[in-house]
Chain A
Amino acid sequence: NAGVTQTPKFQVLKTGQSMTLQCAQDMNHEYMSWYRQDPGMGLRLIHYSVGAGITDQGEVPNGYNVSRSTTEDFPLRLLSAAPSQTSVYFCASSQGGLAEETQYFGPGTRLLVL
């Protein structure tokens, strides 16, 4: 098993550009989530999904969209990038409830918005 994979590893965007951060897992996990990591602020939940076709907002959802058309994939979309979205983004998956089971994190995507 590859676990949780994320692409790209690093991306530079200009303000106003759009992009999609890809996340995939091969563990047949129902629950997937996106976090952003900023210095001194820990990990903050952006969006999460409890299964294919179901998504919901986390703590900091503004400026981000998600969809879950398959169990394996959970892409995160930035429609119009802003410098405040410069961060490291982590995707995670878990078999059970979002806060009940071990979450398996991907290696992260480092995003720089100029």
Chain B
Amino acid sequence: GENVEQHPSTLSVQEGDSAVIKCTYSDSASNYFPWYKQELGKGPQLIIDIRSNVGEKKDQRIAVTLNKTAKHFSLHITETQPEDSAVYFCAARTFQGAQKLVFGQGTRLTINP
């Protein structure tokens, strides 16, 4: 089935710097890639998503890029702020069996003041 690998598992950056989280997927038929942010003690919340017909999408300080040939996609956060500290999950939609999302392992991002 679909397999999503996410790296790094932990990331620490200085406030104001950029952070990049990368994911690879195995199912070449996957065409929807969301990113979720999970704050401490809360459930994950969608922050941005991308579909396979575009290569990049931006929303203020957050951007996602997709390379279908290499089967990887990345989350970019610029001008990081303390409130960006959280666990981030990537996911890919699989068509194997019923449509469902397969999540990566998560990245714990810490923004140092």
Contact = CB atoms under 8 A, between A and B. Distances in A.
Interface in B24-53: 32, 34, 36, 41-46, 49
A90 B101 CA distance: 14
Given A98-B98, A99-B94, A99-B100, A107 B105 contact: no
Grouping DSSP codes into helix (H, G, I), strand (E, B) and loop, the B interface class, with mixed when no group exceeds half, is strand
Contact of A105 (B45, B91, B104, B105): B45
Interface in A66-114: 90, 92, 97-100, 102-103, 105-108
Nearest to A3: B43
Contact of A103 (B9, B42, B46): B46
B95 to A, nearest CB: 9
A90 B44 CA distance: 9
A90 B43 CA distance: 7
A97 B34 CA distance: 14
Contact of B100 (A41, A90, A98, A102): A98
27 contacts: A35-B103, A40-B9, A40-B106, A43-B103, A44-B103, A45-B100, A45-B101, A48-B98, A48-B100, A56-B98, A58-B100, A92-B43, A98-B98, A98-B100, A98-B101, A99-B94, A99-B99, A99-B100, A100-B32, A102-B46, A102-B49, A103-B46, A103-B101, A105-B36, A105-B45, A108-B42, A108-B43
Interface of B: 1, 4, 6, 9, 32, 34, 36, 41-46, 49, 89, 91, 93-94, 98-106
